Amino acid sequence: MAKVLMKGNEAIGEAAIRAGCLNYFAYPITPQSEVAEYLSKRLPEVNGVFVQGESEVAVGYMIFGAAACGERVMTTSSSPGVSLMSEAISYIAGARCPAVFVNIVRGGPGLGGILPSQGDYFQATKGGGHGDYHMLVMAPDGVQEAVEMTMKAFPLAEKYRGPVMILGDGLIGQMMEPVEFPDDLYVEPTNKDDWATNGMERRGSSTKNIVKSLYLDPATLNNHNLLLKSQYEQMKREEVRFESYNTDTDYELLIVSYGTMSRVCKTAIDNLKAEGLEIGMVRPQTLFPFPEKAIHDAAAKESCKHVVSIEMSMGQMVEDVERSVKGKKEVTWFGQCGGEVPTPEAVMEHIQTLLNQNQ
C-alpha cells in the first residue's frame, strides 16, 4: 500500500480499524479530538460502533462493558481525561479484560496546558488508578510507529487480558508524517469463550461467565494479585522493546529518552557526532515493561561516563533509569515541561556541560 500523509491522531484511528477494532468510545479533549472526529466519519463506513460518551468516566466503563463481551475496543484521550478514566482502567485490569487506551499527553498537573508533554509517565507506568496493576505501555516516536504500536496493542491486550496504553504526546497527535498500515500486523482475535460475558448461547455453553474484580476473600484476592504479577513478569520477559542509537561507538555519555523527545535527542546526537563527539542513546519503546537490562548494559560500557534521562517532564523516567543503571554510573535528569519541548541545541548544550563536569 502506498504511503499516505496523515496526522498522528487520524493515523491512530485508522490503525485501530486495520487492527480489527471496530468499537470506539471517547470524549473530546485537546489535543486528541481528531481521533474521535476521524472515527465518527470512518467507523460507520465499516459498520463499526462510534459513541461519544458524556464523560471520560463513562467512556472508561463503556470500554469495560464492550471488552467484557470479548470485543476489540479502544478509546483515546489526553491527560485530564485519562485521570478520569483511571478508575475504569483499574477495574478493567482487575477484571482482566483486553482494552486499548491511547493517551495523547498534554501538560499538567490539573488543567495544565494543551501542548505536548510527557508528564503522565508515572500515571501510565506506575498505575494511575488504585490497586496493584500495570498496563503494558508503548511510546511511539512518530506517526508510523504510532500506527504500528496501535495495531500491535490489540493482540497484546488479548495475550495478557488487560489494558494496553499507547503513550503519545500532543506533537505526535498533531503532526503529519507519511505512513503505511502494514497488513501483516493484523492478528485474528483470540477466542474468549472461557471468560467473556458474550452470552451462553453464543458460546454454546450452559455455564455462566462472570466478569468482575471483587474478591472479598483475602486469600483469593492475594492469589488474584499473584496471577496479575506473574503476567507483569511475563511482560518483562517477552515484551520489552527499545531502540539503540549510536551505541556501536565509544560513546562518552548515554541518553535515555522516548517519544518526541528522543527524536530531538537523535538530532542532537547527529550534530555532536559531526563535531566529533559520540553520544549513545537507548530509546524505550515500551515504558512498561521498561528496558532495564538494555539501559544497564549500555551504561556499563567503559567509555560511558554519565547517563542522562531526557524527558518532557520534571524527572519521572529518570527514576526507572536509576533503577536500571543500579548505581554503576551517575544518572541525572534533563528536561522541560509546559509545551516548550527542549530543542536539539538545548540538549547539545546540556550534554557539553555534563561532559565538562565529568572531565
Partner 1 sequence: MGKTFSKPEALSDAHTHYCPGCTHGIAHRLVAEVIDELGIRGRTVGIAPVGCAVMAYNYFSCDFQEAAHGRAPAMATGMKRVRPDLMVFTYQGDGDLASIGMGEIVHAANRGEKFTTIFINNAIYGMTGGQMAPTTMPGQRATTAPAGRDVEQTGMPIRMCELLSSLATPGYIARQALLRPKYINKAKKSIKQAFEYQMAHKCFTFVELVSTCPTNWGMTPLDSLKWAEDTLLPYYPLGEFKKPE
Partner 2 sequence: MQKEVMFAGFGGQGILLSAKLLAYAAMKQGSQVMWIPSYGPEMRGGTAYCTVVVSDRLIGSPIIKNPAHLVAMNRPSLEKFAQVVKPNGVVMINSSLIPVRTNRDDVQELIVPANEIAVSLGSVKCANIVAVSAFAAKSGMVDVDILRECIKSEFASKAKLIPLNMKAFDEGLKIAAAS
Residue type, 170: G
Answer with the entry of partner 2, partner 1, none that 246 interacts with (C-beta below 5 to 8 A by kind).
Answer: none
Sequence-distant (≥ 6) Cβ neighbours of residue 275 within 8 angstroms:
none
Distance (Å, whole) CA 72 – CA 170: 25
Q: Does 198 bind partner 1 (CB under 8 A)?
A: yes
Distance (Å, whole) CA 356 – CA 359: 5
Answer with the entry of partner 2, partner 1, none that 84 interacts with (C-beta below 5 to 8 A by kind).
Answer: none
Query: Which set of grid coordinates corresponds to residue 161?
Result: 487480558
Q: Which span (66-74, 169-177, 249-257, 290-298) binds partner 1, by CB under 8 A? A: 66-74
Answer with the entry of partner 1, partner 2, none that 336 interacts with (C-beta below 5 to 8 A by kind).
Answer: none
Identify which of residues 235 and 254 has a Cβ nearer to partner 2 in the complex: 254
Q: Does 268 bind partner 1 (CB under 8 A)?
A: no
Residue 44 C-beta: closest distance to partner 2, Å: 19
> If you count them, how many residues does the chain have?
359
Query: Bridge partners of 52?
Result: 26
Residue 55 C-beta: closest distance to partner 1, Å: 6
Q: Does 214 bind partner 1 (CB under 8 A)?
A: yes
Distance (Å, whole) CA 103 – CA 130: 18
Q: Does 64 bind partner 1 (CB under 8 A)?
A: yes
Q: Does 336 bind partner 1 (CB under 8 A)?
A: no
Q: Decide: 210 and 197 in contact? Cβ < 8 Å.
A: yes
Q: At what angle do helices 56-68 and 79-95 cross, to 10 degrees?
A: 30
Q: Does 120 bind partner 1 (CB under 8 A)?
A: no
Answer with the entry of partner 2, partner 1, none that 264 interacts with (C-beta below 5 to 8 A by kind).
Answer: partner 2
Q: Which span (165-173, 210-218, 267-275, 343-351) binds partner 1, by CB under 8 A? A: 210-218
Answer with the entry of partner 1, partner 2, none that 61 interacts with (C-beta below 5 to 8 A by kind).
Answer: partner 1
Distance (Å, whole) CA 129 – CA 221: 17
180, containing H or E segment: none
Distance (Å, whole) CA 334 – CA 264: 13
Identify which of residues 114 and 240 has a Cβ nearer to partner 2 in the complex: 114
Q: Which span (8-16, 46-54, 134-142, 303-311) binds partner 1, by CB under 8 A? A: 46-54
**Per-residue CA distances from 34 to 57, 170, 343, 352 (Å):** 20, 11, 26, 40
What residue ranges bind partner 1 (CB under 8 A)?
23, 25, 49, 51, 53-55, 57-69, 71, 73, 87-88, 91, 95, 197-202, 208-214
